[in-house]
Chains A and B, each alone.
Chain A
Amino acid sequence: MSMNEFDDMRLRDRIAANPRPALFWLVGALVLIALELGRIADGVLRLGGAMGLMVDMVVTIPSSVRGAVASSFGTGAGIAAFVVTAFILLGIVAIIVKWLFIPWSLVDRLGIDVSTGREDILERLLVTGLLAIVAAALVWTPVGGLFEMLIGVLTRGVEAVGSLTTITSREIIPNQGYQLPDGSWEGTFLGLSPAWAWALRVLVVYAYALTWLAWLWKGYEIFREHYREADWTPRDDSINRLRTHYWGVFGFVVVFMFVVMALWAPAVSPVTAEKNLYSPYEHEIQYQGDDGVESITHGDANMNSRSRGGDQNVGLMSYDDYDRFHPFGTNADGKDLFTFLAYGAQVSLVIGLLATVLMAVIATVLALITAYYKGVADLLAIIASDSVIALPRLLLVLLLSVLFMQANHPIAEIYNGGLLLALIFAGTGWPLLWRSVRGPALQVSEQEWIDAAKSYGQSPTATMRKHMSPYIAGYMLIYASLSLGGVIIGVAALSFLGFGVQAPTPEWGRAVFEGKSFVSTSSWHVATLPGLLVVFLVTGFNALGDGIRDAIDPQSDSGDGSAAAATGGGG
């Protein structure tokens, strides 16, 4: 086959022409998935549940608007408000659907002839219309019932898969048991001590995650070698630079460890959160008491293993009286601190990611628009962001979260206030992020290739997407990873003050809060360990951000002004 023919093929064709490397990689990936299928199905189920909850909430918005308007302006106005709200919501969904799922233009397909400016609007209207038809069909026709049934069947199927055991499950490597008088262990994996059994499980988890990482890298290499058209791209250099950037690699390792800890929280913690944190009095353990094997609820056992200074202490790497192993000791309530922190990592990660993604999206869109149109658009954005920045951020966050929680707003219930916190942090954080990328965005907008795009009639949205956003994306990644650290600290600070995530949901800030009075006693670990973890994690995110920046933009070194701006973005 000649070079030229090869050039003219798409990725799918290229894989079809030479399927072996791709198949090889795929088989490996499938094996890895199969090993953890149960856990993945579990995750999917929870994600689906959260999405369902979101959809339910959004769906009620038009009705509640109708109710509010109708009570003060009459039924007619209420119905009008209902229609308008529904239309706006559908419009927003339409933009997302169009962006994600419809790569071709409906307007072109239908052969409608309109001017360039109006084409986009018409396109969106068409998608909105289609969505409205689908929505109406779901609500008013039997299709809705069918749809619900389908979802039910799907859910049950995934549930069945979710009950499969995985290599990291505690059924395969149990770490809870009791010690017989002769010193041997009953109930643990291969009769190992709980400490070793637990360590083994953690090891398996990290080994599994590392294997995935290596396999993904392998996949990238296979793609690069066999399927990519260009033999060199600017990204290659960036990746190479990141690999040799030790500070950045350190950051990556820290972040990786944190993410794995959060994702596999049920596997890495010595005991599940359900048993130890949420309903400790409904689950029992067995231990070797004075009169042979006895049973006790987690709650009662916890009461007797509290770490409150003096003699009442279960420190690092120690067992309590009930043969339970506590890698990080227990907290002031006698709960296992490591379990608390592992699940807390999950909470922090979800809130941090949600808030950061939201603000990154807002900031990117705004930066593109203000840089492309400049003038009035820029000015309005400056006014808006300055008004937000002018208020002290933590106070504002505090105020809003207290407000919503006192009012018992339905949002405050989701994820024990986690969603609310994420929204609040996003709402107060986007100005900093926008400020950080405004400069680069303006710089890109001055490039001649933007003029060139205009000169052959490229539309503004396409110009922003193709010619501007790739240049901001790198910066966005940097500042987003920095502000993710900021959000995690912020949430911890709020929880420390008693206003963030509410008990019993574990959260790092609350761990520090609960242990702060024992710092100078023998139970120093209760507050110190979570505090150190927060510092460590935020440092990790900052290091990763530095690494990415240097990888993308080799000219900038860590000591210049943008580094100062970057730390400012951490808020």
Chain B
Amino acid sequence: MSQNALETGTAEADVDTDSHQDSDVMVEIRDLRTYYEGDGLLGGTPVKAVDGVSFDIKRGETLGLVGESGCGKSTLGRTLIQLESATGGEIRFDGTDITTLSGADLKDWRRNAQMVFQDPDSSLNDRMTIGEIVREPLDVHSWKTPRERRQHVKELLDTVGLQREHYYRYPHQFSGGQRQRIGIARTLTLEPEFIVLDEPVSALDVSVQAEVINLLEDLQEEFGLTYLFIAHDLSVVRHICDRVAVMYLGNIMEIGPTEELFSNPANPYTHSLLSAIPEPDPTAHKDRITLQGTPPSPRFPPSGCPFSTRCPARIRPPEYQDLDNELWHQLDTLREVLRERDRTEKTVTDRIRELLGKEPHFGTIDEIYAELFDDQEVPPAVEEVLDDAAELARGGNEQAALDLLGAEFGSVCEGHVPDGANEANDTDAEESVEPDYHVVSPSGRRSLCHRHDADADYRKPEHVLDDRHR
């Protein structure tokens, strides 16, 4: 990773030492990375599912982890309980770096951290009785005598709201909510301190979701559990979590106390995510921020800020400061379209059309241009760049067109070194600038965005969003 990440790391460490003093930290995660190797045997570009995250989990709290599907939140949860092995970084559990454990030590440690899985249909082996399922962790760790194990399992079934007689039933005989309770009982058998809840209610009927959530809350109180609650549903998160981390493309964009983050988000991504929830207060004038395009592939994350390809508050280069919002929007759309075209596999017919000098099937560049810019007033300087880009794209070279547009309209968000930056940075122009975490509230909430940088003179995300999208 670049030097920036190192600096980021130290910046966080400062923040964390602050929080260290007033609360008991249980898990410390530092620059954690989990990459999946490419499909081919010989490697290929790895998928960067978790790409350098750092945060703490305090004893007894519920930390929410939210984000779109595919953002790496499940992988992060799985790495925390060592279902995936980390590519780099540290996970310190009460001081021990568990990424270095193996063999008997790892097996021993596993008693401390368990996971409730998303799909109750898939998480229980339906050829085994409920008793066998819940008892298995005890058998694996040779806990006391078989008789005591059976007794313990029956008590646990009681605890999670099932009956002792269910010991000899099979999973088929239970509803989704009951099956999830069985799964929860299984995670409790080894009396762990830390439990990862991977979307524990998203596969359940709405009517039983609340019951299971209440059960989880009761259990937390009774056994003093610490939860990492991975979720899709923001209203559940708001209800159950003490703190929330917002994830995008393998990075944590913002992390802080739930109420504060929900009522006054700092990061542009958090803004867009929250604007998707229907507002309970009809008088509040809040429009939905629709994000452009789809998230980029975690195999090829953009340089600079991970959110830069879609950010509604992206910093614009000073020389084009005066361009119309409308035109900016069209420019962004153009880049997204080009990206999409670049990503799409060309079919054989497309290639033949290209060879014959015809445009590939999905709309010609000229059609796109007509659609986007016909009713716009395009200044000559912009016009020139656009024409060059069109030329490249017509030749089938979308990547070159994108590079050109990026060089012209990109900014610090896309990793370009700002003009005002010092000479030292200028020398290696290859190095891209990445945003840092900034503390955005007295509670220690942090957000990953250039706009919070007090040294540079950027406007706050909320104002920009107000201007551009309301």
**A binding-site residues for B, Cβ under 8 Å:** 3-4, 7-8, 108, 113-118, 229-234, 376, 379, 447-449, 451-459, 462, 466-467, 470-471
Contact = CB atoms under 8 A, between A and B. Distances in A.
B123 A452 contact: yes
A449 B81 contact: no
Nearest to B41: A379
B104 interface: yes
Contacts of B190: 456
B170 A456 contact: no
Given A114-B104, A233-B170, A455 B127 contact: no
Contact of A118 (B81, B103, B111, B173): B103
Contacts of B186: 452, 456
B104 A116 contact: yes
A415 B247 CA distance: 68
A451 B83 contact: yes
Interface stretch (B57-65, B114-122, B238-246): B114-122
Interface centre among B127, B141, B172 (most CB of A within 10 A): B127
B289 to A, nearest CB: 34
Contacts of A467: 125
Contacts of B173: 232
Nearest to A451: B83
Contacts of A229: 129, 168
Contact of A457 (B122, B141, B164): B141
Contact of B140 (A3, A457, A471): A457
A234 B172 contact: yes
B184 to A, nearest CB: 12
B107 A230 contact: no
Contacts of A448: 117-119, 122-123
Contact of A455 (B114, B154, B164): B114
Contact of A456 (B103, B126, B140, B168): B140
Given A114-B104, A234-B172, A448-B117, A456 B136 contact: yes
Contact of B169 (A108, A230, A459, A466): A230
A366 to B, nearest CB: 19
A453 B122 CA distance: 12
Interface in B173-188: 173, 183, 186
B147 interface: yes
22 contacts: A4-B164, A7-B168, A113-B104, A115-B102, A115-B104, A116-B103, A229-B168, A230-B168, A231-B168, A448-B118, A448-B123, A449-B122, A449-B125, A451-B83, A452-B117, A454-B83, A455-B81, A455-B115, A456-B186, A457-B137, A466-B128, A467-B125
A459 to B, nearest CB: 8
A113 B41 CA distance: 37
Nearest to B37: A375
A233 to B, nearest CB: 6
Interface string B319-356: 00000000000000000000000000000000000000
B124 interface: yes
Interface in B51-73: none
Contacts of A114: 104
B310 interface: no
B159 to A, nearest CB: 17
Contacts of B128: 466
B122 A230 contact: no
B286 interface: no
Given A455-B110, A471-B127, A230 B137 contact: no
A117 B150 CA distance: 27
Given A232-B173, A455-B110, A449 B123 contact: yes
Nearest to B138: A456
B115 A453 contact: no
A114 B103 CA distance: 9
The 3 A-B pairs at the shortest CB distance, nearest first, are namely A115-B103, A456-B137, A115-B104
Given A447-B122, A448-B119, A453 B136 contact: yes
B107 to A, nearest CB: 4
A455 B83 contact: yes
B165 interface: yes
B277 interface: no
A61 to B, nearest CB: 36
A458 B114 CA distance: 13
B152 to A, nearest CB: 12
Interface string B142-172: 1000010010001000000000110111101
Contacts of B118: 448
B378 interface: no
Given A8-B150, A234-B170, A457-B140, A452 B115 contact: yes
Contacts of A113: 104
B11 interface: no
A234 B129 contact: no
Interface in B78-107: 78, 81, 83, 102-107
A451 B198 CA distance: 12
A470 B103 CA distance: 27
A234 B127 contact: yes
Given A115-B104, A452-B183, A456-B110, 4 more contacts: A114-B104, A115-B103, A452-B115, A456-B190
Nearest to B189: A456
A232 B107 contact: no
A450 B275 CA distance: 38
Looking at A113, A229, A449, A454, the one whose CB has the most chain B CB atoms below 10 A away is A449
Contacts of B140: 456-459, 462
Nearest to A117: B103
Contact of B136 (A115, A230, A458): A458
A3 B165 contact: yes
A8 B167 CA distance: 10
A449 B83 CA distance: 12
Contacts of A457: 106-107, 110-111, 137, 140-141
A449 B103 contact: no
Nearest to B124: A449
A239 to B, nearest CB: 14
A458 B125 CA distance: 14
Contacts of A234: 126-127, 170, 172
B179 to A, nearest CB: 11
B42 to A, nearest CB: 12
A8 to B, nearest CB: 6
B195 to A, nearest CB: 10
